[in-house]
């Protein structure tokens, strides 16, 4: 390299000064995320406080009467959706993860599946909505039902579930498997009795993070035709439904100030579920990762 004068131009003091400034700037950008999260929470609680009452949970949505509108049907809709989505996506995601980590040879097909999952994780959720609309709602004839919604959401979160489960399974020490094989266990016995129990906390964390994404999704449900106003609690998986994020979207769309207040109150309910859920999942994973070092 050809050293030119500029390399020696600035004094050490100036370089130290700029380096210090840079540290400060980087440190400040790290705070931005936390500050925004705080501002967001303060804003929704401040706006939503007047509308937060028991009425919110016992009344059905309404366009005409914001004083007597609530999220009862949306709450039950979300509960139905998340239960069914869990039932579909957890076994499928875990199955694919076990296959890729424990069974698959390094063939072209395996690489194809892996690449494909990475790409699916980047497909916008509205596009999954279009898939659900054509396949579940129309071709299979499920209509705008909870079942169609849950199947669509399962496809949305499946890549996340697979990736998280794979990480958890890959983190299980190979010595455990070797020991099981040495004792004459079959591959499946090894997986069931040794690998899965050790990987369980990681798998659960991934499942919770995936499901909390499903709880917050609105776009694919709107695309498959979920309604905004449903004045009854769904009675089964083939019933029509609405969900909390759809309700929030709809109230935000309304220009009326009192509807924005309702939206804020519904967001408080939604975040009141999601933030603790995520925090627990992240905490469990952190604890598990630090305890694994001892293992």
Partner 1 sequence: MSAILLGCGLLSIGVTVAIIVILAWESWGFFQEVSPLEFAFGTRWSPILEPRSFGVLPLVCGTFLVAAGALVVAVPIGLGAALYLSEYAPSSLRAVAKPVLEILAGVPTVVFGYFALTFITPYVLRPLVPQTEVFNALSGALVVGIMIVPTICSLCDDAFRSVPRSLREASFALAATRMETSLRVVLPAAFSGVVASVLLGLGRAVGETMAVTLAAGMTPKLTLNPLVSIQTMTSYIVQVCFGDTPAGSTVYQTIFGVGMMLFLITLLINVIAQRVMRRFREAYD
Q: Which of residues 90-109 bind partner 1 (CB under 8 A)?
A: 91-96, 98-100, 103-104
Residue among 79, 170, 252, 284 that touches partner 1 (CB under 8 A)? 252
Where in 38-77 is the site for partner 1 (CB under 8 A)? 39-40, 43-44, 47
Alpha-helical regions (H) of the chain: 6-9, 12-48, 54-58, 72-98, 108-121, 125-132, 146-170, 174-182, 187-190, 196-216, 219-223, 244-253, 257-292
Burial of 70 (0-12, 13-18, 19+ CB in 10 A): buried
| In the complex, minimum distance from the CB of residue 256 to partner 1, in angstroms, rounded to a whole number | 12
* Residue 220, both tokens: 């694919």
Question: Which residue lies nearer to partner 1 by CB, 115 or 235?
Answer: 115
From 57-65, 193-201, 229-237, 252-260, give the range in contact with partner 1 by CB under 8 A. Answer: 252-260
Distance, CA of 104 to CA of 56 (rounded, Å)? 50
Q: Residue 25 interacts with partner 1 (CB under 8 A)? A: yes
From 74-82, 171-179, 194-202, 267-275, give the range in contact with partner 1 by CB under 8 A. Answer: 267-275
Question: Which residue lies nearer to partner 1 by CB, 225 or 237?
Answer: 225
| In the complex, minimum distance from the CB of residue 238 to partner 1, in angstroms, rounded to a whole number | 19
Burial of 228 (0-12, 13-18, 19+ CB in 10 A): middle
Query: By the 8 A CB rule, do 157 and 213 touch?
Result: yes
Question: Which residue lies nearer to partner 1 by CB, 236 or 255?
Answer: 255
From 63-71, 130-138, 176-184, 234-242, give the range in contact with partner 1 by CB under 8 A. Answer: 130-138
Where in 187-226 is the site for partner 1 (CB under 8 A)? 187-188, 209, 212-213, 215-219, 222-225
Query: By the 8 A CB rule, do 288 and 201 touch?
Result: yes
Q: How many residues bind partner 1 (CB under 8 A)?
A: 92
Query: By the 8 A CB rule, do 184 and 100 touch?
Result: no
CA angle 210, 211, 215 (to 5 degrees): 125
Question: Which residue lies nearer to partner 1 by CB, 21 or 58?
Answer: 21
Q: Residue 33 interacts with partner 1 (CB under 8 A)? A: yes
Query: By the 8 A CB rule, do 202 and 170 touch?
Result: no
55 to each of 46, 47, 58, 119, 262, how far by Cα in Å? Answer: 18, 17, 5, 44, 11
Q: Residue 232 interacts with partner 1 (CB under 8 A)? A: no
Q: Residue 125 interacts with partner 1 (CB under 8 A)? A: yes
Residue among 86, 204, 263, 265 that touches partner 1 (CB under 8 A)? 263
Question: Which residue lies nearer to partner 1 by CB, 104 or 236?
Answer: 104
Q: Residue 119 interacts with partner 1 (CB under 8 A)? A: yes
Q: Residue 166 interacts with partner 1 (CB under 8 A)? A: no
Residues whose CB falls within 8 Å of the CB of residue 232, separated by 6 or more in sequence, listed in order = 60, 73
| In the complex, minimum distance from the CB of residue 16 to partner 1, in angstroms, rounded to a whole number | 6
């Amino acid at each position: 390299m050809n050293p030119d004068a500029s390399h020696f131009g600035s004094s050490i003091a100036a370089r130290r000064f700029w380096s210090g400034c840079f540290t400060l700037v980087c440190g400040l950008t790290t705070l931005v995320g936390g500050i925004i999260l705080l501002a967001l929470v303060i804003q929704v609680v401040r706006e939503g406080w007047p509308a937060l009452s028991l009425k919110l949970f016992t009344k059905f949505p309404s366009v005409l009467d914001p004083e007597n509108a609530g999220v009862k049907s949306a709450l039950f809709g979300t509960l139905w959706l998340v239960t069914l989505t869990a039932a579909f996506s957890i076994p499928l995601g875990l199955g694919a993860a076990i296959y890729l980590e424990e069974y698959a040879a390094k063939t072209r097909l395996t690489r194809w599946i892996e690449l494909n999952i990475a790409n699916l994780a980047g497909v916008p959720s509205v596009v999954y909505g279009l898939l659900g609309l054509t396949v579940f709602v129309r071709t299979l004839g499920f209509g705008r039902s909870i079942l169609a919604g849950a199947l669509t959401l399962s496809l949305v979160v499946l890549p996340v579930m697979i990736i998280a489960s794979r990480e958890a399974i890959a983190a299980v020490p190979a010595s455990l498997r070797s020991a099981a094989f040495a004792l004459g266990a079959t591959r499946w016995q090894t997986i069931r009795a040794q690998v899965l129990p050790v990987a369980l906390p990681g798998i659960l964390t991934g499942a919770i993070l995936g499901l909390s994404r499903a709880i917050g999704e609105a776009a694919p449900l709107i695309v498959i035709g979920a309604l905004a106003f449903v004045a009854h609690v769904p009675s089964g998986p083939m019933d029509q439904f609405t969900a909390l994020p759809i309700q929030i979207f709809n109230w935000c769309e309304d220009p009326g100030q009192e509807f924005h207040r309702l939206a804020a109150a519904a967001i408080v309910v939604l975040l009141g579920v999601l933030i603790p859920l995520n925090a627990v999942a992240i905490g469990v994973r952190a604890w598990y990762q630090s305890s694994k070092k001892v293992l």
